Structure 1
Amino acid sequence: MPFPILRTPFVVLSEIVSLLEPNEIVTASFCSKKLKNLLKRNFPRGKPLAWRLTMTDKNSYGEVDIETSEDGEHITVISAKHISVLEGHKLKLTNGYIRGFACSEFPVLYFNDQVKGTKWIVDYVTDLFSIDISNLFLVRNGTWAIDWVNNRQEKILYDFEWIETAKCNSDADKTVDYVLRNARASNYCSIEGSVSDNFKFDGELGPMSQLWIRSNGHWITLNNLINFDSIEITVRGSRLSVSDLNSFLRHWRAGGSSRLKWLHLNFEEHTFQEWFDEDLEVVETNEERVYRRVCAREGPVNKYVSNMLFFFSFGFERVVHGGYSIQRMDGVKALIQCDLREFIMAVWA
């Protein structure tokens, strides 16, 4: 016998709705407009305040996930795919859109235009829960979403990740430049893209907590490093020279890049003979320090003592033993480890 949820007393209804997972609420909201409005009115308003909504746009689908707890687990609540994937399957229409629930814990909607479909599902979920987009994860063809998100909400993104899925092509430089100039996130920004050897970026990034150039970081110059405002910076595929690093350390000793706590450069190819200029007053040391970062969500701390770096929105702990010590003019110290392929600088308060 069907449960008469529309005639349930308010107190009981609120309790029932509070027990539902986000994907269950989205799924139930498609039953009727009355039920959707009922869910909107009776869902505990305090819950979504602590949630983070993630919009994902990939080549084959768009998706909305919601992170409900501090452990970083994402719950997919709805997905949009191109109608071509159906190929003969007959599914029902919902509000004019083809839908599918079979073998899925969340609604899957099918559209003739995947971009429009992705916009539709994002608008639907943000309206249902009255929350903004916090995280944006895109592949190369999803750069349209950057301006779309920036124009639809005043709230800056928390996390942003962009992945170039194809090899460097004729418009790769233009695409990466667009992403760097327009994508903004307060916590985590990850860029992975193939660009030409001639690519240059003359803008600024930040402020943010973590910046990760995941690959092909050969375009990063000394000026880029100085102008990136981030607490943690990781660059893979760097071509910075020893002279560049000495100049950056002079900049840091004089008080520049004052928010920087962690710098990790992985070099594309280098053979260094000498490292530090005498005026930097760098000294060898055997001291051991622990660099520790716990994000605002205070997730579990991940411990690494190798050269592997976990770089996302959760806790991070790294033991830095030995190397070189350098002191800023105001007394703040940093420990440096470096070899032919890697440079790590950890700053202590």
Structure 2
Amino acid sequence: MPFPILRTPVVVLSEIISILEPNETVTASFCSKNFKRLLKNQYQQMKPLMWAICMIDFENDRRVIIVKSGIEANVLSAVHISKFNESTSKVVEINGYKIEFSPEYPILYFEDQELGSKWIVDYVTDLLNIDVRGLAIGRSSAWTVDWINKRQEKPLNRFALFKPTSNNSNADESMDYVLKNVRSSDFIGINEDVSDNYRFNGKLGPVKELAISRNGYWVTCDNLMNFDAIAIYIGRSRLTVSILNLFLRHWRAGGSPRLEYLEVFFENGTVFENTFDGDLEIVRTNEVGTYPVSYGEPVVIRNCYRVQRTDGIMALVDCDRQRFYMIVQHEKASH
């Protein structure tokens, strides 16, 4: 016999809803229009949820994920109608869309893949009354950046751009559009292949952490100066020590004031003769620099160099054939 949940007292209903996991909440909302309305009203009256909605739109992977207490849960997926299996017995039709209820989360089938992505995000955010906090996309999904900016006032917390598994075109155009328009407060991660001729002429940030993971060969000194981030990691860079001297001059003059950590990995190694330009007044020191990077164990540099900004702020720098490190000590020198 079905349980008459809609006739349950409000206090009991609130307790039932409060213990539902994110995927259970979204799945339950498809039971009926009345129950969806009940859930929506409940979440609008509750304190802001400590849940984070993340949108994934990468090639054929289109999902909404909810992160709760650090644990990710898939709650809704959009799949092209060509993947629909007529023999599936757990398929129903709602508002003209075919929906399959898998053991974990519902799957919606769409003819228009962009429409499908928008639909599942709108559905979950409207149901739970919270914004999108994370976005992970591929090259062909650059449109999502502007769409997110227009649909909500708050910026993303985390953003990631991944290179496609196939060698599609429009890499330079997509990269430029994303870098000029993305807004993310905590993290921006870029892993994309662009042409050797690509140049980014703009500003990026403010953000806490910027990681251009494995394809940073396009990054110039001007880019570094215009990246507004607390921590910056550049992989496969073609920067040289001479170019980094220019960045250090920029920093000594007060540029990049929020920077706390910079790590540059040289693509093909570089020659470092343990010398910096004399006007930088860099001196050898036995101080130890430590920075708690997000991607692993804290970075520690020893037997490095010290450079002082015009306002007294110190930084420790180190360089070998593979990497350049800079750790800013945001306390003014006592002498």
Tell me the number of residue pairs that the alignment of Structure 1 and Structure 2 aligns: 327
Root mean square deviation of aligned Cα: 1.8
* Contact 1:64–1:121 (CA under 8 A) maintained in structure 2: yes
Secondary structure in 2 aligned to 1:234?
Answer: strand
Q: How much does 1:13 deviate? A: 0.7
Structure 2 counterparts to residues 276-315 of structure 1, below 5 A: 276-292=276-292, 309-310=295-296
Instruction: Using the aligned pairs only, state the percent identity.
Output: 51
Is the contact between residue 240 and residue 270 of structure 2 (CA under 8 Å) also seen in structure 1? no
Q: Does 1:344 align with 2:322?
A: no
Q: Which residue of 1 aligns with 2:73?
A: 75
Range moving further from structure 2, 319-328 or 230-239:
319-328
Structure 2: which 5+ residue stretches go unaligned? 331-335
Following superposition, the deviation at residue 95 of structure 1 comes to: 2.7
SS of the equivalent of 1:125 reads helix
- Confirm or deny: 8 A CA contact 1:188 1:208 kept in the other structure: yes
In the aligned structure 2, how far is the partner of 1:249 from the partner of 1:62? 42
Q: What corresponds to 1:12 in structure 2?
A: 12
**Distance in 2 (alpha carbons) for counterparts of 1:26 and 1:248:** 49
Q: Which residue of 2 aligns with 1:3?
A: 3
Q: Structure 2 matches for 1:325-344, cutoff 5 A?
A: 325-344=306-325
TM-aligned CA distance change 1:175 to 1:138, over 3 Å: same
Judged with a 3 Å threshold, the aligned counterparts in structure 2 of structure 1 residues 53 and 47 are, in CA distance, closer, same or farther, namely farther
Distance of aligned partners of 1:347 and 1:167 in 2 relative to their CA distance in 1, 3 Å threshold = farther
- Whether the 8 Å contact between 2:43 and 2:127 is mirrored in structure 1 is no
Partners of 1:87 and 1:183 in 2: CA distance: 37
Q: Please tell me the residue identity of whatever aligns with 1:317.
A: P
C-alpha spacing 1:43/1:196, structure 2 compared with 1 (3 Å): closer
In structure 2, the CA distance between the partners of 1:30 and 1:256, relative to structure 1 (3 Å rule), is: same
Q: CA deviation at 1:57?
A: 0.6
Shift of 1:5: 0.6
Distance 1:319 1:46, change over 3 A: farther
Paired with 1:279 and 1:93, the residues of 2 have a C-alpha distance of 71
Contact kept, 8 Å, 1:27 with 1:107, in 2: the verdict is: yes
Paired amino acid for 1:136 = L
Does the 8 Å CA contact 1:17/1:43 hold for their aligned counterparts? no
Q: In structure 2, what is the Cα distance between the partners aligned to 1:10 and 1:87?
A: 40
**Other structure's SS at 2:292 match:** strand
Which residue of 2 is the match for residue 189 of structure 1?
188
Describe the superposition over 1:187-209 as per-residue Cα deviations: whole angstroms up to 9, x where unpaired. 10111111111111111101110
Letter in 1 for 2:313: V
The answer to whether the aligner puts 1:30 opposite 2:30 as a matched pair is: yes
Residue 88 of structure 1 corresponds to 86
Shift of 1:61: 2.8
Match of 1:286, SS?
coil
Preserved contact between residue 285 and residue 305 of structure 2 (Cα < 8 Å): yes
Q: Call closer, same or farther: CA 1:4–1:196 in 2, change over 3 Å.
A: same
AA aligned opposite 2:30 = F
Q: What secondary structure sits across from 1:115 in the alignment?
A: helix
Change in 2 beyond 3 A, CA 1:250/1:2: same
Q: 1:85 to 1:189 in 2, by over 3 A?
A: same
Query: Counterpart amino acid of 1:341?
Result: Q
User: How far does residue 169 in structure 1 lie from its aligned partner after superposition?
Assistant: 5.4
State the AA in 2 paired with 1:348: Q
Secondary structure in 2 matching 1:174: helix
In the alignment, the residues of structure 2 paired with residue 323 and residue 237 of structure 1 have an alpha-carbon distance, to the nearest angstrom, of: 22
